[in-house]
Structure 1
Amino acid sequence: MDNNKSLNIILKKLKNGDQDIFEKIYLEYHEILCIFLLSYTNDKNLIEDIVHDVFIKLWNKRKTVNITTSIKSYLYRSAYNKFIDTHREQKKQTEMLSSYYYTAVMQAINIDHSKKDDIVNKLDTCIKSLPKKCKNVFIKNKIEGQKYHQISQDLNISLKTVEGHITKAYKLIKGCLQINNF
């Protein structure tokens, strides 16, 4: 009963916009949530992003949030759900980009041999013209076959940054190839 009363007091303060109570919740649970997410991924940047998103959501939805068990349970569940959503989105984006890559390769195969050499040379030129970091990430993923999380760890950048570089590389390569009618 005492825990329930304490929870109600904390929730009331939180709903009224008490920044001190929010800060106490943050300080008490931030590190614990990061450790919890380590059981799902070793990407520390991703973990930090997820935990910060959980607390931002808690603050932004403080007036309508409905916590019935405990703040700890709510935060753990929120962190887990955010991790799963992020993982699904990354998987979907990876599959989409792989599909584009596969389509480009299949189109290149169906072109006569004289044009193939021209396209391969132009593709090589386009890849070489990418910005340095973008090119490095693209080569590690598409040529060396490394996974996003491995690139993220090797280069000490977040998964979102890796995804951004791959997306940017595809756009730049596509534009480069279209300029030259390939």
Structure 2
Amino acid sequence: MSEQPAGSEKALLMLSSTGDESAFTLLFHLYKNKLYAYVLRLTESEMLAEDIVQDVFMKLWNEHASLAGIDNFGSYLFRMSKNHAINHFRRMSHETLLISELFQADPSHNATEDLVALNETEKLLSAIIDKLPAQQKTIYQLSRQEGRSHEEIAELLKISPNTVKNHMVQAMSTIRTQLRRHSDTFLFLALAAFFGK
């Protein structure tokens, strides 16, 4: 899509701030490709880049009333996405470090316990995935377990790529929430590392 005049973009922000979905969708299509390319350079991961772009726009929509106060939407988007990427890597580094420290601090820790913990992790994750709505479950498995792109899944299931993305966002949100709810501190850290692969 071609660049929008600044006045037009400001009008879209004003409309979006009132809850106008059409205006917000136009903003999304105006920036999604540039933002995805930028985040992909930062993360070097297509799936992570897609997730971050989705998370950023979902956060913006959930807080759409604040959009009217943004002067330079492009700069705001890129800064917000960069912060999301940084926070993701900080979180993953912190979780990895904590797991490593827990293993080192436990003199009775051994390979058998590793296998038990991994089996418990896989069981819990599988149970959560099994309880997802059918469409979400199918899309999650095609994406995360078979490594298919959103476009491939859309073609396979005869739905739009946006529908695939929406289902993935909902599935990921449900899984993260359930992991936190059903696990103790140590297991959650192990799950976070396992789930974040």
Q: Which category describes the TM-score, using the shorter chain as reference length?
A: 0.5 to 0.7
Equivalenced residues, count: 133
Let me know the Cα RMSD of the aligned residues. 3.6
Instruction: Calculate the TM-score normalised by the size of structure 1.
Output: 0.59
Equivalent in the alignment of 2:187 = 171
Amino acid at match of 1:13: L
Match of 1:28 among 27, 30, 35: 30
Structure 1 equivalent of residue 83 of structure 2 = 81
Secondary structure of 2:64's match?
coil
Q: Quick one: which amino acid aligns to residue 124 of structure 1? A: T
Identity %: 25
Q: Give the alignment of 1:129-148 within 5 angstroms.
A: 130-131=118-119, 134=122
Deviation, 1:124, is: 2.1
The unaligned stretches of length 5 or more in structure 2 are 124-143, 149-171, 189-197
Give the match's secondary structure for 2:65. Answer: coil
Distance 1:86 1:129 in 2: 24
1:82 & 1:126 partners in 2: Cα distance? 31
Query: Is the 8 Å Cα contact of residues 52 and 84 (structure 2) preserved in structure 1?
Result: yes
Q: What's the offset of the Cα at 1:4?
A: 4.6
Unmatched 5+ residue regions in structure 1? Answer: 109-118, 136-152, 173-182
> How far 1:131 moved relative to its partner?
3.3
Q: Is the 8 A contact 2:13 2:23 kept in 1?
A: no
Q: Which of 112, 116, 131 is the aligned partner of 1:124?
A: 112
Quote the Cα distance in structure 2 between the aligned partners of 1:75 and 1:32: 10
Larger radius of gyration: 1
Q: Pick from 20, 29, 45: which aligns with 1:43?
A: 45
